[in-house]
Amino acid sequence: MPFRLGKLWLLLLFPVGAGAFIGGAYLFFYQGGYRAPPTVRVQFESIVVPTASVAGFVEAPTPREGMFLLDVAHSNNFDEAELSPLLSRVASRGYTIEFLGERDHGGASSPPGRVRLALLEEKLREADSFAVILPQDAYAKEEVDVIERYVEKGGRLLLIGDPSRHDHINSVAEEFGITFQDGFLYNVVEHDLNYRNIFLRDFLPNELTQGLGRITLYTAGSIQSGVSLVTTDGNTYSSMIQRTAPFAPVVKAGDGGVLGIFDITFMIPPQDALTDNARFIANIADFLTNGQRSFELVDFPHFFSGPVDILLGQSSLFPAGTAMKSLLLTFETPSELRGVEDLLQDTVFLGLYEDARDVAQYLSLARIQVGETIRTPFTPAIPSDSTGLVLLHQGQGGRQVLIVLGDTESSLHRLVELLGAGGFRTGLVSDSVGVYRLNS
């Protein structure tokens, strides 16, 4: 027994062997345990998104008279409801709103080119302000020329593009030296809910930026050239233009008569009420309604801004007077036959050449002589037989005096007919004078 007990220590070799294997295996396979890096939790609950606030804005606009024309003849890519904040403000200033072309249900259609040109010419004679918004059809050169002449006469023009919609706004804009550039503006540092909704605070002092502290544009683009009315800050970039210089999404051009805005969405509810957007839209409405456009004879009878007095050189011309009254009525211009001239009222004078002495002051100002021959600064002496003469005099305070003379009653009547049919435009010798051969 002592012998066996003495060997019992050998049993310890079993756990030693097992331990040695396990230890060896651990050393062989494992060089230590995994030390997990400290987990930094995301503080989701502290994520707060600041938003632009609604700025209260109430206005009491001064009523004016005029017509705001909106182009829908070039497959324009907007819906009328989107413009309601602007249109309602224009309407609240007393302007009537008319559309150039027909609107389909929910969109704009595009008439054939020649029809469109004629329509544009006709409508712009009457319009005090005109808006070209997101035209999907490019403007033809002839159409642009018509718009250019309209702007030269003091007509206000609003051009709106939008980077998120397809348009050919540059077909008009480039004629006025401005270009709506590719790409959109964004600011990832400070914005209203989305990087494309940029705040603008840098304003050039102007009637359009009056009272503005901060406006927000929702996917705006940059307009090159022109007078920058609103510019971006240093954190605003373009998706296409590799520079950090300020971008201008709102500019003026055409001697101040053209306003270019590269965003339509800022005036779509509810964006129209955020920051100072409502005031900005009101300023745009002011721009569209406080222009002083001049008219030419070609614009007959749209240069009359209110009721018109009709004066007759002699009582035998009464039929011509009533014909003129009817003609004006077709253009929704009320008129009355009067016996005495009111120097504050728009006036049409109908007479024969022998009555020219009654309007001599106007004729002499235009350096027109009427006798055996008709002499104007623009024509050689023309024998007065079977002729007619039309003169538009624009007086102070915007008073318009239209003088219509003929060598006989029938010539005068024919001339009134020409005015109604638009045929008088072919006989114009200047912006305000027309001389006509009236062979029956």
Q: Which residues bind another protein (CB under 8 A)?
A: 7, 10-22, 25-26, 28-34, 36-37, 39-44, 47, 49, 51, 188-189, 193-195, 197, 235, 270
Whether 98 and 35 have beta carbons less than 8 Å apart is answered as no
Nearer to another protein, 52 or 310 (CB): 52
Taking a C-beta distance cutoff of 8 angstroms, is the pair 91, 63 a contact?
no
Report the chain's terminal Cα–Cα distance, integer Å.
159
40 vs 340 by CB, closer to another protein? 40
- Give the sign of the dihedral formed by CA 334, CA 340, CA 346, CA 349: positive
Which residues have a Cβ under 8 Å from the Cβ of 199 and sit 6 or more positions away? 52, 187, 190, 191, 192, 214, 215, 216, 233, 275
237, 185 in Cβ contact below 8 A?
A: yes
- Decide: 228 and 244 in contact? Cβ < 8 Å: no
* CB 214 to another protein: min, Å: 17
Least distance to another protein, CB of residue 250, Å? 23
Q: Which is nearer to another protein, 46 or 62 (CB)?
A: 46
Smallest distance, Å, CB 123 to another protein?
32
Residue 35 CB, shortest distance to another protein, in Å, is: 8
CB of 76 to another protein, least distance (A): 20
CB of 280 to another protein, least distance (A): 19
Enumerate the β-bridge partners of residue 108: 103
Q: Which is nearer to another protein, 163 or 226 (CB)?
A: 163
DSSP structural state of residue 105: T
Q: Of the two residues 12 and 340, which places its CB atom closer to another protein in the complex? A: 12
Residue 37: CB minimum distance to another protein, A = 7
Written in H, E and C, the secondary structure of 374-403 is: EEECCEEEEECCCEEEEEEEECHHHCEEEE
Spatial separation of the C-alpha atoms in residues 386 and 436, rounded to whole Å = 8
Tokens of 212: 């503005």
Min dist. Cβ of residue 84 to another protein (A): 16
Minimum distance between the CB of residue 293 and another protein, rounded to whole angstroms?
39
Nearer to another protein, 19 or 306 (CB): 19
* Residue 163: CB minimum distance to another protein, A: 17
Nearer CB in complex with another protein: 56/106: 106
Whichever of 269 and 423 has its CB closer to another protein, that residue is 269
- For another protein, the closer of residues 13 and 240 by Cβ is 13
What tokens does 75 get?
């497959």
Instruction: Please list, in sequence order, all residues whose beta carbon lies within 8 angstroms of the beta carbon of residue 109, skipping any fewer than 6 positions away.
Output: 72, 73, 75, 101, 102, 103
Nearer to another protein, 171 or 197 (CB): 197
Residue 346: phi, psi to the nearest 5?
-60, 140
Buried b / exposed e across 162-197, counting CB within 10 Å, b at 16+?
bbebebbbbbbbebbebbbbeebbbbeeebbeebbb
How many Cβ atoms are within 10 Å of 109's Cβ, its own excluded? 13
